[in-house]
Amino acid sequence: MFDTKVAILVLDDLQTWQKLNVTAFLATGMAGSAPEAMGEPYVDGAGTAYASLLGQPIMILTANREVLLRARDQAHQRSLSCAAFVEAMFSTGHDEANRQAFSAEPVDAPALVGIAVRGPKKDVDKAIKGAKLHP
């Protein structure tokens, strides 16, 4: 039904609150990078409006750091939309501090705790190879 795929990979040994936090931040990254993928606003039976949601499913997977780094590299090589969350961002309190923590990471081996990718299904599948569906 969809030509594209969205996948969020989260480090497998995070605490539950951290997995949820990373997933939420990365989902907003995918929505922000693909406004054309957003659905129409929701309206309930009483006419109350709700925000639009991404118009396609999002796969949530777990991975170790090696798979996260490989997926990040594959996403860049395949020109996929990619959002990333590094461990240092757990200790910040706002967007500017998050971006500073992110840019301070070593480019070749950042302490990734999650990434999100979006693009053609075949390319996303190749990028996320080795990740497992979140239980």
Q: How much is the pLDDT for 77?
A: 98
Enumerate residues 6+ apart whose C-beta is below 8 A from 43: 49, 50
CA dist 14 and 94 (Å) reads: 21
Determine the distance from the C-alpha atom of residue 5 to the mean position of all C-alpha atoms in its chain, rounded to a whole number: 12
Tell me which fold the domain 4-133 belongs to: Bit1 (3.40.1490)
DSSP 46-114: T--EE---BSS-EEEEEE-HHHHHHHHHHHHHTT-EEEEEEGGGGG--SHHHHHHHHHTS-TTS--EEE
The tens digit of pLDDT for each residue in 37-57 reads 999 999 999 999 999 999 999
65-97 pLDDT, tens digit per residue, is 999 999 999 999 999 999 999 999 999 989 999
Q: Residue 117: is its pLDDT beyond 90? A: yes
With 0.75 as the threshold, say if the pTM is over it. Answer: yes
| pLDDT confidence tier of residue 2, bands split at 50, 70 and 90 | confident
Domain ranges of the chain: 4-133
